[in-house]
Amino acid sequence: MPATATTADLRLALEQERAARQEAEAANQAKSAFLAVMSHEIRTPLNGVLGMAEVLADSGMREDQKQALDTIADSGNLLLTIVNDILDLSKVEAGKLELEMMPTCVTEVFHSLCRQFRPRVEAKGLSFTSVLSGLMAREEVWAELDPTRLTQVLGNLLANALKFTSEGAVTFTVHAREVTNGCVALDFRIRDTGSGIHAAQHKKLFSPFAQAEVSVNRLHGGTGLGLVVAQQICREMGGGIDFTSAAGEGSEFHVSLVLQSTEPSAEDPAQDELDWSNEVLQRHRWRVLAAEDNLTNQLVLRHLLKEFDLDLTILPDGAELCALWRAGGADLILMDVNMPVMDGVAATSEIRRAEREEGCAPVPIIAISANAMAHQIEGYLAQGMTAHVAKPTRKSDLVAAMARALAGSSLP
């Protein structure tokens, strides 16, 4: 009997473990589904806000109008940052956070952040000090890194320093030194005289969705995701992030990276891509079909592309787009995903099926969607779409994606 009881107990324990695992998996799937829906529902109206703000910024305005528009854009971008933190967390959890490493002037990244944050810090009545030391004090330092992600990490830390400091100062320093094998060690430090962090809360700081204190969230806002993502970015670049802090005594965050040194480059990759993209879109009157059911998004799309001499037709759903494509073809298709009658995935499948039957070359199809989580993008590409541009749609991102699709290659 004891042996029978032990076997029964083991079987029960295994069943309980299996049930708990299934429950946890179901909860995780529910969380992912909820985040995907919320991301989409927030990004959709933001596309109208930020898209039209970008259009108005190029239209010529009085200074007071420009200030009002900047406030709208800043508020919209703050909301977008929160949504992007959630998307980046989904990439971290899926192991799909990717870096675009390239020769980068670290000195310029530092100065760019100073230009961005100094006015904001001083507008709050705080002092802002920036310090270059080591190699950085003597010469420009270049290294192989992802400039966008490094800016994201340091920008998050500077924004936190500004957010949690009501009086005193914010200090931003960087020290560079040569190490072995042609590498350079970079040490960034962001110090503030703000509220600091209780020792009991230190372990929670790099946990997803965990603000150090609920009261902090109520006072300052934020999701608590920025540091989680920043930590993972630093790890992906072969470095780390740590901090020292005490309640009432401020905080200091430290980002350390060891990167391959590179030679200075006279080229500006971002400007090169912008120039190349504009040239591709202007070299021909491309026939472009777009499916978009939202009238605001239709307006944004027309304004973003108005400088190019495109034969652009916007349809309200995938079915009408497919019909027009069958009648006259297209050089490029811009496809929303969530639409009535026929959604973007179904329309793409219909087009790809017709191409296979007729033996014709596939037309590039770019998904332009507020569905921008890692697993969603993978799904669209697996369904036959060529590329994905997230909403809110930035003109530079859209034009670059269109140019790459039309040219059939990346930058030469």
Task: Identify the helix (H) or strand (E) that includes residue 209.
Answer: none
Render pLDDT for 206-261 as a digit per residue (tens, 0 to 9): 776 555 444 444 334 455 677 888 888 999 898 999 999 888 889 999 999 999 99
Render pLDDT for 267-306 as a digit per residue (tens, 0 to 9): 666 667 778 888 999 989 999 999 999 999 999 999 999 9
User: What is the predicted pLDDT for the residue at 1?
Assistant: 44
Please give the Cα distance from 30 to 32 (Å, whole number).
5
The rounded radius of gyration (Å) of the Cα atoms in the chain is 25
332 bridge partner residues: 288
Burial profile 198-214: b = 16 or more Cβ within 10 angstroms, e = fewer = eeebeeebbeeebbbee
Share of the chain above pLDDT 70, in %: 92
User: What is the predicted pLDDT for the residue at 212?
Assistant: 43
Structure tokens at 91: 């990439």
The mean of the pLDDT values for the chain is 86
User: What is the predicted pLDDT for the residue at 210?
Assistant: 55
251 bridge partner residues: 192, 245
Q: Which amino acid is at 87?
A: L
Share of the chain above pLDDT 90, in %: 51
Q: What is 69-105 written as a DSSP string?
A: HHHHHHHHHHHHHHHHHHHHHHHHHHT------EEEE
User: What is the predicted pLDDT for the residue at 411?
Assistant: 41
Looking at residues 148-162, what average pLDDT do you find? Answer: 91
Confidence grade of residue 154 (pLDDT, cut at 50, 70, 90)? very high
Looking at residues 6-35, what average pLDDT do you find? Answer: 81
Please give the Cα distance from 360 to 64 (Å, whole number).
54
Mention every residue, 6+ apart, whose C-beta is less than 8 A from residue 117: 128, 155, 158, 159, 162, 170, 172
Task: Please state which of the ranges 35-39, 69-73, 220-224, 250-254 shows the lowest mean pLDDT.
Answer: 220-224
Confidence grade of residue 352 (pLDDT, cut at 50, 70, 90)? very high
Please give the Cα distance from 327 to 325 (Å, whole number).
5
**Residue 28 DSSP code:** H
Tell me how crowded residue 174 is: count the other CB atoms within 10 A of its CB: 25
Please give the Cα distance from 196 to 95 (Å, whole number).
32
Task: Please state which of the ranges 42-46, 182-186, 352-356, 405-409 shows the lowest mean pLDDT.
Answer: 405-409
User: What is the predicted pLDDT for the residue at 214?
Assistant: 40
Say yes or no: domain 269-407 is CATH 3.40.50.2300: yes
- Is 273 or 325 the better-scoring residue by pLDDT? 325
What superfamily in CATH does domain 102-260 come from?
Answer: Histidine kinase-like ATPase, C-terminal domain (3.30.565.10)
**Predicted confidence (pLDDT) at residue 314 exceeds the cutoff of 90:** yes
User: What is the predicted pLDDT for the residue at 17?
Assistant: 87
Find out whether 31 and 64 touch, Cβ atoms under 8 Å.
no
Mention every residue, 6+ apart, whose C-beta is less than 8 A from residue 300: 47, 48, 51, 52, 55, 393
Q: Which amino acid is at 118?
A: R
User: What is the predicted pLDDT for the residue at 23?
Assistant: 85
**Predicted confidence (pLDDT) at residue 142 exceeds the cutoff of 90:** yes
Q: How far is CA 114 from CA 155, 173, 174, 308, 401, in A?
A: 10, 10, 12, 35, 30
Q: Which CATH architecture has domain 25-94?
A: Orthogonal Bundle (1.10)
**Predicted confidence (pLDDT) at residue 383 exceeds the cutoff of 50:** yes
User: What is the predicted pLDDT for the residue at 60?
Assistant: 79
Please tell me whether residue 148 adopts helix, strand or coil conformation.
helix
Render pLDDT for 85-111 as a digit per residue (tens, 0 to 9): 777 877 777 777 888 899 999 999 999
Helix axes 147-163, 106-123, angle to 10 degrees: 20
* Residue-range domain boundaries for the chain: 25-94, 102-260, 269-407
Please give the Cα distance from 273 to 405 (Å, whole number).
13
Residues belonging to the chain: 412
